[in-house]
Amino acid sequence: MKRITDERLILRNFKNIRLAFALENLVLIGFLIAQAAQTGDWSNLFAWDNPLVIILMTGCYTLVVLSVGIRAAIDDKPKHSWVAVALLGVVLLTVITGLFYFLMLGQRRFLLALLCGAIVTAVVLAIDLYYRFNSPTD
């Protein structure tokens, strides 16, 4: 079997892989919703003892980690100031914590939602700071 050397075919193959991954995740989310609709237990829709959730999260986390190193260098884009980074952190923490609190459907687990929001915020800010200090300069 020969390796693909044509860049158009390589890009097409990557687009096909991306489409297949998106479709797979949509099907997994559909199965999770159907499972919750059958049992009537919407509070455990994203429980970690559900194998479908583990498969979905493993695929999503893998995609996020692998796509961190893929970027196009944009030299003309202005850098964020420290105030903008701090503001981004506060807004992200608030939104993600609220999202996790809503997903728990009022089980009054604010500290767990805050912890999940802090972890997601820390990862996003770490990626932003990494690119801030490792971007190409003149």
**Confidence (pLDDT) at 11:** 82
Rounded Cα distance between 19 and 63, Å, is: 13
DSSP, res 42:
G
**Confidence (pLDDT) at 135:** 59
Kindly give the confidence (pLDDT) of every residue in the chain, 138 residues in length, as a single tens digit, with 9 standing for 90 and above. 667 677 887 788 788 888 888 888 888 888 888 888 888 877 777 776 777 777 877 777 777 666 665 554 444 455 667 788 888 889 988 988 888 887 776 566 788 888 888 888 888 888 777 777 665 554
Q: Chain-centre distance of CA 70, in angstroms?
A: 15
- Name the amino acid, one letter, at 7: E
* Cβ–Cβ under 8 Å, residues 113 and 95: no
**Confidence (pLDDT) at 85:** 80
Residue 65 vs residues 37, 78, 101, 120: alpha-carbon distances, Å? 32, 25, 25, 13
**What element of type H or E holds 128?**
helix 110-134
**Confidence (pLDDT) at 32:** 81
**Confidence (pLDDT) at 74:** 47
**Confidence (pLDDT) at 106:** 59
